[in-house]
């Protein structure tokens, strides 16, 4: 009882010191508001309409099954979904989350990601959640790997176990921003490895913050399949809309 009381006092004090703020405009939220203020809620770029059957990017109409990228290039993963397009308010929000230590946005992001993937999970049946790894040096500099934190939240919300250390980043890669698709793939080659020789699960849900060309997902899927996984799915917070959005926030 005492513990509960202490916890609620602690939460109260924390809320006074760090009141919850809107993930989009960063204004202090009202008492019963969560994640996003009512004004920004309307402009959140949620992916609601038709999306690519493969990678989840928005497509022009229902008759278009795959996005331009997925029609042109094969992928190592089976399918993926994204909660938002990587535009406007979300782009700025992700920037603050990564560069201004706004980890307080992550629970809202994770809830949105779970909503975006909820109808797929019964079909995908992932046995494990793996975050896209970050090189230890980069993680030390930032203090956290946002994909890892998102994966933890998603695991709590879905009940699917998460293994944070299974997929590892073993090579620090050059900035991807100015690279084309082929160069990105070359850059990422050999950048990831799995811990241990056998993996013990067949169906994996990868978690990352931003999807652009898919080369990171492909590299992760390739490594996992080489180690014995059979089906790789993913959920990301944001997806670049197309060619023009091919710029990764990690390089900003």
Residues that bind Zn ion (CB under 5 A): 22, 24-25, 37, 40, 52, 54-55, 57, 67, 70
Shortest Å distance, C-beta 29 to Zn ion: 8
Nearer of residues 126 and 214 to Zn ion, judged by Cβ: 214
Return all residues near 192 (Cβ < 8 A) that are at least 6 apart: 133, 167, 168, 169, 170, 219, 220, 223
Shortest Å distance, C-beta 169 to Zn ion: 24
CA distance 141 to 125: 35
Q: SS3 breakdown of the chain: % helix, strand, coil, rounded to 5?
A: 40, 15, 45
CA distance 147 to 154: 10
Nearer of residues 61 and 196 to Zn ion, judged by Cβ: 61
Nearer of residues 199 and 206 to Zn ion, judged by Cβ: 206
Nearer of residues 134 and 245 to Zn ion, judged by Cβ: 245
Residue 114: CB atoms within 10 A of its CB come to 17
Shortest Å distance, C-beta 51 to Zn ion: 8
Shortest Å distance, C-beta 10 to Zn ion: 26
Nearer of residues 26 and 127 to Zn ion, judged by Cβ: 26
Using DSSP's 3-state secondary structure scheme, residue 51 falls into: strand
Burial class, 173, CB count within 10 angstroms (exposed 0-12 / middle 13-18 / buried 19+): buried
> Are the CB atoms for 217 and 62 separated by under 8 Å?
no
Shortest Å distance, C-beta 80 to Zn ion: 8
118-122 contacts: CB < 8 A, separation 24 or more?
120/79, 120/81, 120/233, 121/158
Shortest Å distance, C-beta 76 to Zn ion: 13
Return all residues near 102 (Cβ < 8 A) that are at least 6 apart: 96
Instruction: Give bridge partners of residue 131 from the DSSP assignment.
Output: 207
Shortest Å distance, C-beta 235 to Zn ion: 14
Nearer of residues 57 and 153 to Zn ion, judged by Cβ: 57
DSSP string, 73-91: S--SSSEEEEEEES-HHHH
Nearer of residues 155 and 212 to Zn ion, judged by Cβ: 212
């Amino acid at each position: 009882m005492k513990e509960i009381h202490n916890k609620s006092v602690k939460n109260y004090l924390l809320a006074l010191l760090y009141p919850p703020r809107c993930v989009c405009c960063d204004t202090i939220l009202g008492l019963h508001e969560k994640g996003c203020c009512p004004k920004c809620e309307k402009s959140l770029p949620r992916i609601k309409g038709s999306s690519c059957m493969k990678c989840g990017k928005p497509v022009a109409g229902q008759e278009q099954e795959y996005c331009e990228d997925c029609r042109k290039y094969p992928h190592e993963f089976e399918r993926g979904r994204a909660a938002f397009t990587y535009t406007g308010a979300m782009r700025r929000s992700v920037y603050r989350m990564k560069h201004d230590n706004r980890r307080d946005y992550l629970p809202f992001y994770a809830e949105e990601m779970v909503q975006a993937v909820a109808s797929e999970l019964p079909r995908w049946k992932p046995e494990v959640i793996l975050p896209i790894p970050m090189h230890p040096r980069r993680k030390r500099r930032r203090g956290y790997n946002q994909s890892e934190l998102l994966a933890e939240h998603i695991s709590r919300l879905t009940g699917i176990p998460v293994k944070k250390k299974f997929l590892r980043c073993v090579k620090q890669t050059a900035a991807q921003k100015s690279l084309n698709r082929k160069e990105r793939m070359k850059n990422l080659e050999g950048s990831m490895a799995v811990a241990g020789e056998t993996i013990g699960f067949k169906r994996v849900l990868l978690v990352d913050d931003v999807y652009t060309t898919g080369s990171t997902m492909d590299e992760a899927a390739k490594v996992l399949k080489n180690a014995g996984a059979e089906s790789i799915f993913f959920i990301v917070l944001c997806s670049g809309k197309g060619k023009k959005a091919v710029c990764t926030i990690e390089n900003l």
